[in-house]
């Protein structure tokens, strides 16, 4: 290997030779008047086809879209039914049928209790024969003992009456003291009759109570007593 001073010397020598025209033209060059020109031989110049190295293509997996005819029809959502507003709903007019009013049937009079020889119906008939309108009313409370029926008689002609009906005259005498004259009186304690106007005949006992209401009705009272005593066998 040359040292740096020797190498510099060689370079200077070469430059001097070139400047002196000692250059030998190479093949294909011409030296004319100190000017060297190069003729290009087309056959001598190799023709190089450039090669472009492209990277390998990356193929993405893309799904081929189906034709329009094969695509499933998109499901169209069915709109929910719109509820009717209260004002739009027809309310049927109910057929209102008049409720029939219950017919007010008259309360039948109580069935007369069995008695011998007379009952309450026969006493009412005796009152009608004397122009007095009476009919059986509510049951009298108390002093019923062995009587078949103890009931009030009511009517527009006078105050109410109390009537005892017995099955037989003997049963009547078991409950009442029946003197030959004067008013009968109850034998059993606890029987209270309002007033002393009490009369009897056969198997019937009649009391004018409340007595205060009968005081001014003397004529009606006498008609009642006459109707009672008319019931004889």
Q: What is the mean pLDDT of residues 192-197?
A: 92
Q: pLDDT (tens digit, 9 = 90+) per residue, 65-86?
A: 555 555 555 555 565 655 555 5
CB atoms within 10 A of CB 204: 23
Reduced to 3 states, what is the DSSP secondary structure of residue 222?
A: helix
Which two three-digit tokens encode residue 73?
A: 């029809």
- The domain locations on the chain are 120-188+198-229
CA dihedral for 129, 132, 137, 142, sign (positive or negative): negative
**pTM of the complete model beyond 0.75:** no
Q: Is the pLDDT of residue 47 over 70?
A: no
Average pLDDT, the chain: 75
């Amino acid at each position: 290997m040359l040292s740096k001073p020797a190498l510099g010397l060689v370079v200077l020598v070469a430059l001097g030779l070139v400047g002196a025209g000692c250059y030998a033209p190479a093949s294909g060059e011409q030296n004319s008047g100190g000017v060297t020109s190069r003729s290009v031989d087309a056959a001598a110049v190799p023709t190089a086809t450039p090669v472009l190295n492209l990277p390998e293509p990356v193929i993405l997996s893309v799904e081929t879209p189906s034709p329009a005819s094969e695509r499933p029809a998109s499901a169209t959502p069915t709109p929910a039914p719109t509820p009717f507003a209260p004002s739009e709903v027809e309310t049927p007019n109910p057929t209102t049928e008049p409720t029939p009013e219950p017919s007010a049937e008259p309360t039948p009079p109580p069935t007369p209790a069995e008695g011998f020889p007379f009952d309450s119906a026969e006493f009412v008939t005796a009152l009608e024969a004397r122009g007095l309108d009476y009919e059986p009313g509510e049951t009298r409370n108390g002093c019923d003992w062995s009587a078949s029926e103890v009931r009030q008689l009511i009517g527009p002609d006078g105050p109410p009456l109390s009537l005892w009906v017995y099955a037989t005259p003997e049963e009547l005498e078991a409950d009442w003291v029946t003197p030959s004259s004067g008013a009968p009186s109850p034998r059993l304690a606890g029987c209270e009759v309002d007033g002393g106007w009490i009369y009897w005949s056969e198997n019937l006992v009649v009391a004018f109570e409340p007595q205060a209401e009968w005081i001014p009705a003397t004529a009606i009272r006498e008609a009642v007593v006459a109707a009672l005593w008319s019931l004889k066998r």
